[in-house]
Amino acid sequence: MDIRITKSNSSRLNDVDFENLPFGKLFSDHMFVADYYDGKWHNPRIEPFHNFSLHPATMALHYGQAIFEGMKASKSKDGTPMLFRPEMHAQRMNRSAHRICMPSIPEDLFVEAVTKLVQIDQGWIPPIEGSALYIRPTLIATDEFIGVKPSQSYKFFIITGPVGPYYPKPVRLLAETKYVRAVIGGTGEAKAAGNYGGALLPAKLAQEKGYDQVLWLDAKEFKYIQECGTMNIFFVIDGKVITPPLYGTILNGITRLSTIELLKDEGYEVEEYPLTIDEVVEAYKKGTLQEAFGTGTAAVVSHIEAISYKDMVIEFPNPGKGKVGEFVKHTIDQLRSGSIADTRGWTVKVPVEETMEV
Ligand SMILES: *Cc1c(COP(=O)(O)O)cnc(C)c1O
């Protein structure tokens, strides 16, 4: 499918202060849009960034048929824009689409759209280490209809914006014993907009108590550790790296998968194991709890400083300096900046020069 390109006449890039980037508030000059109707994708295009005009009965606004992805473009030392495992994001978007009864997006269209958009707006990739161009592919239902059924029409769009390093400080977590994020059989594994609305109140209450994020426990017994905020979680206990398995309630993070692979290759023992919060407490008391960190595209790795559970607080030794988390962060950052050889084919170079559309 050819992507039609209409370039903006003027750029807002000169107004951007790359040293002080607010997260999620700045958007680059262009966006990608494609429409789905009559059972097919139509008119894939890159256009100047613009607002949509939506009918008030647009189904995405009422019945939650809205999913998204989150990925990043970085620049290698020689200035080449790079993507990290874009095909994995395309595949996950389609798994999310399937769960929410939405049409899939051809994987090559997804990757081509992201690549072209990043190529056109490559000047928006901050030239500062740890900063990146955040990419937000989104799929929404667009039928104008009141009534619960799958929409027949959809809009797929991609917007991007420059971001600075996310969560620079180690985070404090509150293990949640009243609210849940996801249940087995539910939509927790989909990157569905509806999952995030329900998480806002517990997050707000945790913040009021002085914590940065919620540590989610399972919905049935409030026992098994799930993930934190919008990150997957890893613990290091007695030299062994442990992360919860994908119960169907946990987002299948691409950083999580990459972390498992990197650590195994480095010789660490990594186990996907249904870890309980009590086991973490016990390890803390025994002195074998060494480190915990969250993984996600936004921060890559966020070190965990403390976890509050019921009336106790687990404090980690050397917060922010966990050896395993630092190794993962450093390695993924180096892969993204092309400073180490990518032997796994995880990074994809975006051609700097535009190729002629055929
Ligand atoms: C996106 C997301 C993650 C992290 O996934 P990555 O692919 O590593 O960015 C983890 N948990 C939730 C709830 C998320 O939305």
**Tens-place pLDDT, residues 274-319:** 999 999 999 999 999 999 999 999 889 999 999 999 999 999 987 7
Q: Which of 162, 43, 120, 153 is nearest to 353 (CA)?
A: 120
Atom of ligand 1 nearest to the CA of 295: 8
Q: What's the 296 CA to ligand 1 centre distance in angstroms?
A: 5
Q: Which domains occur in the chain, in start order?
A: 4-165 (3.30.470.10), 171-337 (3.20.10.10)
Mean pLDDT of 110-129: 95
Q: What's the 239 CA to ligand 1 centre distance in angstroms?
A: 25
Whether residue 217 is predicted with pLDDT greater than 50 in this model: the reply is: yes
Pairing of strands 240-243, 270-272: parallel
Whether residue 167 is predicted with pLDDT greater than 80 in this model: the reply is: no
Residue 356 — very low, low, confident or very high, per pLDDT cuts 50/70/90?
Answer: low
- Spatial distance between the Cα atoms of 204 and 202, rounded to a whole number of angstroms: 5
Atom of ligand 1 nearest to the CA of 254: 7
Position 126, amino acid: P
Check: pTM over 0.85? Answer yes or no: yes
